[in-house]
Amino acid sequence: MSLDIKFVTWDREGALRGGPEASVTFTFTVSDGPLKAHAEVMLTNRGVKLIQQAGKDARSAARLALERHLVYRRDPFEAPIFLRIPYWQAEWFSDYGNFDRVSGSPKVR
């Protein structure tokens, strides 16, 4: 399977009283020829700030998380993909994330 992933948009959501903290949602299109699907990757504002403080791009981190999800978990055309990246994983991306290439990737363009 040769997947093409394209960034579509991002949206910032404020925290609700008593609810989860504020977050940023990155929306991507995943396609394989005529098949198309959308995927949403959500990071908390704290996670985005942490990644940016490390001099890296939060959108690239979101794409990397999506790519890894596609490599190890599921077919994107089976059901919608909604990934919520916890703070500890954002911290891992900021410290160790290789934003250039995902190893073991199934020909993700």
Q: Say yes or no to pLDDT of 30 above 90.
A: yes
CA distances 15 to 20, 48, 49, 65, 90, Å, are 6, 15, 16, 23, 18
With 0-12 / 13-18 / 19 or more C-beta atoms within 10 angstroms meaning exposed / middle / buried, residue 26 is buried
pLDDT digits (tens, 9 = 90+) for 43-69: 988 888 888 888 888 898 899 889 888
In a domain, 103, yes or no: no
CB atoms within 10 A of CB 22: 14
Supply the DSSP symbol for 55: T
pLDDT band of residue 87 (cuts 50, 70, 90) is confident
Q: Find the domain containing 19 and state its range.
A: 4-96
Q: For residue 101, what are its two tokens?
A: 């290439």
pLDDT digits (tens, 9 = 90+) for 91-106: 888 887 655 544 444 4
In a domain, 36, yes or no: yes
Structural domain count, the chain? 1
Cβ atoms of 25 and 40 within 8 Å: the answer is yes
pLDDT at 39: 94
pLDDT at 96: 75
Which residue carries 């160790």 as its tokens? 96
pLDDT at 19: 54
pLDDT digits (tens, 9 = 90+) for 1-20: 578 899 998 887 765 555 55
Cβ atoms of 69 and 40 within 8 Å: the answer is no
Strand ranges of the sheet holding 81-85, from the earlier edge strand across to the other edge: 4-13, 23-32, 35-44, 81-85
In a domain, 88, yes or no: yes
pTM for this model (two decimals) = 0.77
